[in-house]
Structure 1
Amino acid sequence: MSTRQAFERFFISILSVSLCVESKPMPIGSRESNGLARTPLMGWNSYNHYSCYPNETIIHSNAQALVNLGLKEKGYEYITVDCGWTLPDRLANGTLTWNPALFPSGYFALGQFIHGLGLKFGVYSDGGIQMCMTGSPAQNGSLFHEDTDAQTFQSWGADLLKYDNCYSDAALGYPDTSYTPTISPKGHYVTMSSAISNLTRPMVIQICDWGVDFPSLWAPALGNSWRIANDIIPYFRTIPRILNQAVPQTSFAGPGQWLDLDMLEVGNNVFTQAEEQTHFSLWAILKSPLVIGGALKDAATSISSSSLAILGNEDVIGYNQDSLGVAASFRRRWTEAGYEVWAGPLSGGRTVVALVNLLDVATTLTVDFPDVGIQKASSVKDVWNGVAVQNVLTSYSASVAAHGTILLELGGTTAAGIYAASDATVSSSTTTFSKVYAKTTSTNYISIVNFTTSVASSTTVTIGSKTYQLPANSKSLAVPLFLAAGNNNTITIKSSLPLSTLAITNPPSTFYPSTNFTISGTATRTTCSTNLCLPVGSKIGYLTPTRLSPSHHPGTLFFHFRLQIHQHLFLQQRHSDLHKLGIRHQYQEHDLVWEVAFAINNIAYYLEDDAHQSASKGNWDYNCQEGPPVLNSPITVRNIKSRLVLLMILFAISVIAVASC
C-alpha cells in the first residue's frame, strides 16, 4: 500500500467549565418549526463503523437487525446512510445520484425497503463543494445546489438529512476541514434549511458543523439538532472532551432542537462495559440524539448482548425521551477525587443524576443531594447497579468501575436545606438532626427552626451549646450557625415546643466581574461575542507562565472560569472488524497539548476573609471550600519544551507507522 503523508494541525478552542454552581442559562432564540424531533431522534448511522464505505447489503442487514433485535420497539427508527454513497459527478440534469456499484437497487428502492420495515430513511450531504472523506475522485457536495438536492432527497422518500461541513470555506480554497473559517458556516445551513422548508413534506435536519462558530447561538432556528464538538473517536478520553464542550450549552436544548454529542460508539467493541454505560448515560440525559454507530449485524459482526442491553435500557431511554425535554446540566467536579456530577429534571417531579468516575480505577462515589438542589428523596433507583432504596437523606454512595457512571433516578424529593422533624431523632425535648450538609466551612450559615405551635410567652431554645429566646407568639427562630464542609454535621435542638422543620441557608456570596480585576503583563481584558461571558460580557485572557492578573477582593473561592487551550489534531488508524470487511477508517481527535491561558470570567467568591488572589498559569484545584485555591501542577516554559520534544517523537513514530501500512 502506498505511503500516506501524515500531518499536524493546531488550533485554539474554548472550553467553558462551571464549578460548584450551575452556569447562568443562555437565552434561546427562534427555533426550527417543522414540528419534528419533539424528543431527541433515535436511530442508526453507518459512519462510526463503516466510515465512508456503505453499501446496500450493509444497510439492509443493519436495518433488519434494528427490527429483529427489538430496538425499533425501544424507539430507534431512523436509518441513515452517511458519506460515500454517491457517484463522483452529478447527472446531466444537475442532480446527485447513488453509486450503482454500491446500491444496485437505487436510493428510491432503499427508502422503500427501510419504510417497509416501519423505519425512517436518512440521507447525507455536505454544505461544501464535495462530501467529507470521499477522496479522489471527489463526490459532490450540495453547495450551490441546495434546492435541487433537497427536492431530490424528497423524491427518494428521505425523512432526515444529515448535513456536513467539509470543503465549505471558499476564502481558504475549500479545504477538507476548517475549524477557524474566514466566515461562519451558518450561511450554508441557512440556505439548505430554507430549501428543506420549501418542500411539501417536512424533513429532520441534523446540522453537522462540528461546533464551529458556536452553533448553539444560531442552529436552533435552522435544524433539529446540531453538533457541538469534533468527531467522537474510539478512545474513552473523547467522552470527557465532548462533555466539557457541552457544559455551557445544555440550556439551548429543548423540544425540536437538541445538542448533538455525536453518534454512539456503544457496540463497536472500543469501550469497556462501564465506559459504554457512561457514554450512553450522559448522551441520554443531556438529550443528545441516540444514534447507534456500531454494526448491529453484517457478514463479519454481530453486536454483543452486553452492548445491546445498554442500548435497550428502557430507564435510560426514558430519560432521553422524557416529555419535559430539559437537558441535564453540569453541577460539580472534584479534580483530585476524579469525578463530576450532572443532573436534570424529569417529568413527574423526578430528577436524574449522573456521577461520572474519570479515574482509571474502581472507586466509591458519593453524591450530596444539595449539590443538585435536593435534600431528601423518597425513592432512589440506581440504574446500572440494579438497586432501589427508599427515604434517602442528604447523600447516596455506591461503588463504580473505572470510567463508569452511577446513574440515579430520584423521586419524591424535597428542596435542599429543608430537614423535616420526621427525619430527626427525638428524645424527650431534644431533637437531633444528622447528615446536615454544608458546601463550605463557615460560621455564616443561618438556621431557621420552625415549630408546629407557638406560646404566649417567650420560650428558651437551645441549639448546640447556645441558648436563644423564641419570642412570644412566634413559630420560628433564625440564628447564625457554624457548619463544616461535608454531609456529616449534626445539629441538636432542645425545646419544649415540637419542631416541624429545620431550614439551613447558605452564607452570603458576592459576585465580582472581570472588570474589577487589575491586569498586567500580557493579560488582556476582551469583550466577548453577544450572549457569551455573561453577565458582564468580558473576560481576562492571554496570561503567560510569568505574568499574572491579580485582584484584591474579600473572598477565596472561584465559581466560574473559562479555560483557553491549545489542542493538537492528528489522525489515528482504527483497529476493529472493519479490517474483516477490507475497510480502513481514520479518526480525528483533539488531544490537549498545553494550556495557553486562563480567561477568567464571571468570578464569584464566598465572603469570609480578606485575601489577595492571583490567577496564574496552571491547573486550579477546586475543593469548593473557603480558603485559597491550590495551584496544581503549574505549567512552565520547561514543561512546554518537554511536551514539544515528546510531540515531535510521537509525530516521527506516527509517520513511520503510517508509511508501513
Structure 2
Amino acid sequence: MAAIALASLLSTALGNPLQALNDGLARTPQMGWNTYNQYNCFPNESIVHENAQALVTIDCGWSVEDRLPDGTLTWNETLFPQGFPALGRHLHDLGLLFGTYGDSGILLCGSPPNQTGSLYHEDIDARTFAEWEVDSLKYDNCYSDAATNYPNVNYAPSTSPHPRFANMSQYLQSQDRPILFQICEWGIDFPALWAPALGHSWRIGNDITPHWRSIFRTLNQAVPQTHFAGPGQWPDLDMLLVGLDGVLSVPEEQTHFSLWAVLKSPLVIGAAIAGMRAESLEILRNEDVIAFNQDTVGESARLRRRWSDAGYEVWSGPLEGDRVVAALINWSDEERELTLDLPDVGLQFAGGVRNIWRGEAESDVKTSYTASVQGHGVMLVELSEALSAGEYPSDIFANINGQSTTFSPVYALTSSHGYTLNITFSQPSPATNISVATSATGLPVSISVPSGASSVSALPAYYSATQNTTLTGGTSPYTCPDLFCLPTGAKLTNLDADSTAIFHIASTTSGSKYLEIDYINNEVAFDSSWGWGANSRNLTIQVNDEEPVRLEVPLSGQHSELFGPGLGWYDSGRLGVLTDGWRVGGNEVVFGNEEGQAGFSSWAPDLVGVGVYD
C-alpha cells in the first residue's frame, strides 16, 4: 500500500500551534546587530555607537547588581555614561531601532559580576523598557530555576520556562509602545509549541559556537521546527558568525548566511562591523539572500534529501511569485561538481535558474542542474517559471522523429521497473497500437511514446517496524500511544552498534530502490553542544551483500523533551535514501548502526517503518 502522508498525521497528533501574536511586528524575520558574539558580556557605549549600522541589541553586561531605590533597573554608568535613554535617542536619530537584553531569572547571563534579572519584577521592568523607548527585548533563561536554587544554567529544570516568558509577554503587551519580544530559553521545553503566542521569535537550541561544526548541529535541530515559521513567529537559529575573525572561511560564511536566510531565521550580525573583511561584508550585504529571508510568503525551507556518505544535502522552500529557493550544502572540504535533481525539490523544469554565489544564470533547465561548489560551500539557486515534478510536456521534453516521440531526460528514483506511467494526449491519437519503451539501465531514463505528455511516478510498498522483521542484539519493539510513532503506531528501539533490525522483503524487480525511512530521534544536544554534539543519530542500511548506506538523521521530536508525551520520542520524521543490491525474490534489508561508536553516535534512531519504492 502507499505510504501514509506523514505531514497530515503529524498535524493531527500535534494539533494546531497556538495563534501567533497579531500586533503587526515581525511580519518578516527581524534583522540587526548584537553585541554578544564579538564582545561577549562586555559591551560599552562607544562599541554600540561604532557599530550602529543596523538594528542594535545590547546583550548581557549592560546592567548592575542592584536596582534603584524605587525598584527600577539601571545601567552600568561606567560603560554607558550617557545612559540608556540617551543611547536609545542616539540610535533613533540615526533611523535605527534600539534593542536591549533581559533575563527571566534573578540575574542576567554572564553574571558574576552580578547583574539583576527580571524574575519577580516583570511589571516594572516592562514599564522601564517602554520608558527607555526600547524597540525589542531579547529575554534569556539563566539563574531561573527556584527549585534548584537558581543555577546559572539548567537544561532540565523542575518546571517549564513557559510561565516566566508568558509573564513578561503579558506586561510588554500592556505597554503603549510595541516591543518585539525575542524568547531565548535555548530550545528547552520545545518552545515552538507555545512561544508564538507570547513572542515574535524563539531560540530553537543552545548557543551557536564559533566553529563550523555548529552549523550542522543547528540545522539538525531546525528540521522538526521549520513548519512553525510564519509572519510574526520565527524560529531563531541564533546570531550569525559571519565576519568573526578566524572562525569561518568565506564559503562557510556563505553557507551559514544562506541557510539562516532561507530557514527564515532572524538575521542578527554578531561581529564588529568596523574592520570586517570585505568578503564578509559582501556576504552580509547580498540583496538576493536578504530578499529570500524577507520574502512575504514567510515559509521556511525544509530538508529534502541528505546523502551522508557523499557529504551533501538539499533544502528548499517556496518564494512569492511561484519561485523556489534551493540550497545544496557541500559538507566536504573539497570543491567539487554537484548536481541538484529538480524533483528533489518538487520540480521538473525551471525556465530560469540563478546561482546566487556564483553570479550565474541559466534558462530552460530540465530535470537537473550541475555546478561546482566550494568546500563547505553552498549551491544557492532561485528557480522560476517552474513545472512540478513528474510533468513532461512534449514541447519541452520531447524529440519527435516520425511516429516516435522520445521524452528525455526523465528522472527516476530507482533503476527498477516498477513505475506507473501516465500519458496524456493533447488530441485524440489516430494510432491503434501504442507502444512504450523504457530504458532501465540507470538514471535518468528515457521514455518513448507516440505523442503528447507523460508523467512518471512510483508508489511505495510500506513496511512497519514490526512486520516480518528479525531483531538481533538489544533491539526491541515498542507500541506507542494512539496518534504517535506515525504512521505505524509502533517502533523499534535500542539499535546500537551490536544490534540490527532485519526486514525480509520480497521484490519482483532488481536494481536500486529508494527507501523512505520513518525514524524518531530526540537526542537533543544541550551540554554536548559546546563540543561535538550534533543533534543527529547514525543509521546504516544494508541490502543483501551490498555495502551499507549511512544516513545521519536529524531531530524529529515536536514535543518537550522534559514534559511532553514520550519526552519527544513519539514524534516521527522522514528521510529518503537510495539503496543498491536488490534482487528478484527475497531480500534482507538490515537496519543498524555500523561504526556508530567510531565518531558518529552510539545509538541509531528509533525505527518506525520504511516505504520501498519499487
After TM superposition, the score normalised by the length of structure 2 is 0.83
Which residue of the partner structure matches residue 98 of structure 2? 121
Q: Which letter does structure 2 place at the counterpart of 1:281?
A: S
In 2, the alpha carbon distance for the partners of 1:356 and 1:312 equals: 21
Instruction: Give the Cα separation in 2 of the matches to 1:170 and 1:539.
Output: 37
Match in the other structure for 2:565? none
Alignment partner for residue 129 of structure 2, among 153, 156, 160? 153
1:650 aligns to what?
none
AA of the residue aligned to 1:47: Y
What letter matches 2:17 in structure 1? Answer: I
Shift of 1:515: 9.1
Change (3 A) 1:202 1:636: closer
For 1:517 and 1:325, locate their aligned partners in 2 and report how far apart those are by CA, in whole Å.
Answer: 43
Distance 1:366 1:161, change over 3 A: same
State the one-letter code of the partner of 2:183.
I
Q: CA deviation at 1:258?
A: 0.3
2:434 maps to 461
Change (3 A) 1:226 1:100: same
SS in 2 for 1:274: helix
1:380 and 2:353 aligned: yes
Instruction: Pick the aligned partner of 1:395 from 356, 368, 372.
Output: 368
Alpha-carbon offset, residue 373 of structure 1: 0.7
Matched-pair contact (CA < 8 Å) for 2:229–2:235: yes
CA distance in 2, matches of 1:444, 1:46: 57
**1:507 is aligned to 2:423:** no
Aligned residue in 1 for 2:606: none
Contact in 1 for aligned 2:6/2:487 (Cα 8 Å) = no
Quote the residue 1:245 is aligned against.
221
Please list, as runs of the form range in 1=range in 2, the aligned pairs for 1:19-168 lying within 5 A after superposition. 26=11, 27-63=16-52, 66=53, 76=54, 78-136=55-113, 138-168=114-144
Q: Distance in 2 between matches of 1:452 and 1:619?
A: 45
**One-letter identity of the residue aligned with 2:127:** Q
* Match of residue 337 from structure 1: 310
1:523 positional shift: 4.6
Q: 1:524 to 1:192 in 2, by over 3 A?
A: farther
Q: Distance in 2 between matches of 1:39 and 1:422?
A: 39
> Residue 338 and residue 22 in structure 1: after superposition, are their counterparts in 2 closer, same or farther (change >3 A)?
farther
Question: 1:484: how far off?
Answer: 5.8
Residue of structure 1 equivalent to 2:578:
624
379-388 or 264-273: bigger deviation? 264-273
Q: Does the Cα contact within 8 Å between 1:22 and 1:331 map onto a contact in 2?
A: no
1:436-485 deviation line (CA, Å, top 9, x unaligned)? 10112221111122222215x76112222xxxxxxxxxxxxxxxx67466
For 2:481 and 2:209, locate their aligned partners in 1 and report how far apart those are by CA, in whole Å: 30
* 1:445 and 2:419 matched: yes
The answer as to whether partners of 1:356 and 1:406 remain within 8 angstroms in 2 is yes
Q: Compared with structure 1, are the counterparts of its residues 111 and 527 closer, same or farther at alpha carbon in structure 2 (3 Å cutoff)?
A: farther
Q: Which position in structure 2 is the counterpart of 1:654? A: none
The Cα shift of 1:184 comes to 1.5
The superposition leaves residues 145-190 of structure 1 with CA deviations (integer Å, 9 ceiling, x where unpaired) of 1111111111100010000011112222211111122222112111
Conserved 8 A contact 1:210-1:227? yes
Match of 1:315 among 271, 274, 288: 288
Identify which of 490, 494, 515 aligns with 2:446.
490
Q: CA contact under 8 A between 1:263 and 1:293: conserved in structure 2? A: yes
Q: For the residues of structure 2 that align with 1:250 and 1:219, how far apart are their CA atoms?
A: 14
- Deviation at residue 33 of structure 1 after TM alignment: 2.3
Q: Give the structure 1 partner of residue 409 of structure 2.
A: 435
C-alpha distance 279-597 of structure 1, shift in aligned 2 (>3 A): closer
CA contact (8 A) 1:206 1:224 kept: yes
**Alpha-carbon distance in 2 for matches of 1:266, 1:129:** 32
Whole-angstrom distance in 2 between the partners of 1:108 and 1:529 = 54
In the other structure, the counterpart of 1:591 is 532
Contact 1:125 1:163 in 2 (8 A): yes
CA distance in 2, matches of 1:61, 1:566: 38
Change (3 A) 1:188 1:367: same
Q: Distance in 1 between matches of 2:288 and 2:309?
A: 31
Superimposed CA distance per residue, residues 238-269 of structure 1 (whole angstroms, 9 cap, x where no aligned partner): 00110011111100000000010000111113
Judged with a 3 Å threshold, the aligned counterparts in structure 2 of structure 1 residues 485 and 92 are, in CA distance, closer, same or farther, namely farther
1:282 alignment partner AA: L
Mean CA deviation greater in 306-315 or 99-108: 306-315
Count of paired positions: 557
Cα distance change on mapping 1:251 and 1:180 into 2, 3 Å: same
Give the letter aligned to residue 42 of structure 1.
M
The gaps in structure 2 that reach 5 residues or longer are 508-512, 554-574, 583-587, 603-614
How many Å apart are 1:521 and its aligned residue?
6.5
Q: Is the 8 A contact 2:350 2:387 kept in 1?
A: yes
RMSD over aligned Cα atoms: 3.4
- Counterpart in the other structure of 1:224: 200
Q: 1:143 Cα deviation (Å)?
A: 0.8
User: Are the aligned partners of 1:341 and 1:356 in contact in 2 as well (CA < 8 Å)?
Assistant: yes
Q: For residues 474-489 of structure 1, what are the structure 2 equivalents within 5 Å?
A: 483=440, 486=443, 488-489=444-445
Q: 1:163 to 1:61 in 2, by over 3 A?
A: same
Residue in 2 that maps onto 1:634: 594
Q: Which runs of 5+ in 1 are unaligned?
A: 1-20, 67-75, 465-480, 571-587, 604-608, 644-661
Partner of 1:543: 495
Q: 1:43 to 1:568 in 2, by over 3 A?
A: closer
1:187 maps to what in 2?
A: 163
Please state whether the residue corresponding to 1:268 is helix, strand or coil: coil
The Cα offsets for residues 255-303 of structure 1, whole Å up to 9 and x where unpaired, read as: 0000100001111131111001000000000000011111012xxxx11
- CA distance 1:631–1:521, change in 2 (3 Å): closer
Give the distance between the partners of 1:531 and 1:172, measured in 2 at CA: 35
Is residue 410 of structure 1 aligned with residue 386 of structure 2? no
Residue aligned with 1:353, SS: strand
* Compared CA separation, residues 435 and 123, structure 1 to 2 (3 A): same
> Following the alignment from structure 2 to structure 1, what is the Cα–Cα distance between the partners of residues 330 and 283?
18
Which residue is 2:234 aligned to? 258
Given that 2:261 and 2:290 are in contact with CA atoms closer than 8 Å, whether structure 1 keeps it comes out as yes
Query: Partners in 1 of 2:406 and 2:67 — Cα distance?
Result: 78
Give 1:208's aligned amino acid. C
1:202 to 178, 183, 203: 178
Cα pair 2:257 2:284 within 8 Å, conserved: yes
- CA distance in 2 between counterparts of 1:636 and 1:209 reads 31
Report the CA distance shift for 1:617/1:386 in structure 2 as closer, same or farther (over 3 A): closer
Q: Tell me how far apart the structure 2 counterparts of residues 509 and 592 of structure 1 sit (CA, whole Å).
A: 35
Q: Name the counterpart of 2:268.
A: 291
**Who wins on radius of gyration, i.e. which is larger?**
1
CA deviation digits over 1:177-217, x for unaligned, max 9? 11122222112111111111111122111011111111111
